[in-house]
Amino acid sequence: MNVFKIIIFIMMVMMSIKSHAIDVYEFDNVQQEELYQQLTKELRCLVCQNQNLADSDAGLAKDLKDQVAAFVKAGQDAETIKTYMIDRYGDFVNYDPPMNASTLFLWFSPLLVFLIGGIILFINIRKRQHG
């Protein structure tokens, strides 16, 4: 009966281990492979929020990586591929979004939070000194 428990334990451990598939793409030259690596690090996974495509295991990220690889193999340059992705998925897909009307809050919210925190701190210090 102990052997049976051991076998079940081993099977449960093996089933709980997450297997990671490695995406392998065949490129015509080293420049294409480097371009693919660069783009998958510069483009954000739309599902994972704070991961790039290269680090993401999400299904949508796999689809986007396939799409990037197809564009690279077709001879598209980095700017064309990024423009396509941004046009299709919005500025969020880019880790370095441009400054425009729709991203102003994204760019200036840290400064706004810092200023509000400074004002609150200044008011609290003044209250303690005078109160």
Q: What is the mean pLDDT of each run of 10 residues along the chain (131 residues)?
A: 76 63 77 93 86 88 92 94 91 79 81 95 92 65
Place of tokens 């200036």: 108
Per-residue pLDDT, 18: 52
Per-residue pLDDT, 9: 78
Per-residue pLDDT, 131: 65
Per-residue pLDDT, 76: 93
Per-residue pLDDT, 15: 66
Per-residue pLDDT, 92: 82
Per-residue pLDDT, 113: 94
Report the alpha-carbon angle 92-77-33, nearest 5: 95
Alpha-carbon distance values, 50 to 3, 101, 102 (Å)? 45, 22, 19
Burial class (CB in 10 A: 0-12, 13-18, 19+), 5: exposed
64 token code pair: 């986007």
Per-residue pLDDT, 121: 95
Per-residue pLDDT, 17: 61
> Please, what CATH class does the domain formed by 26-98 belong to?
mainly alpha
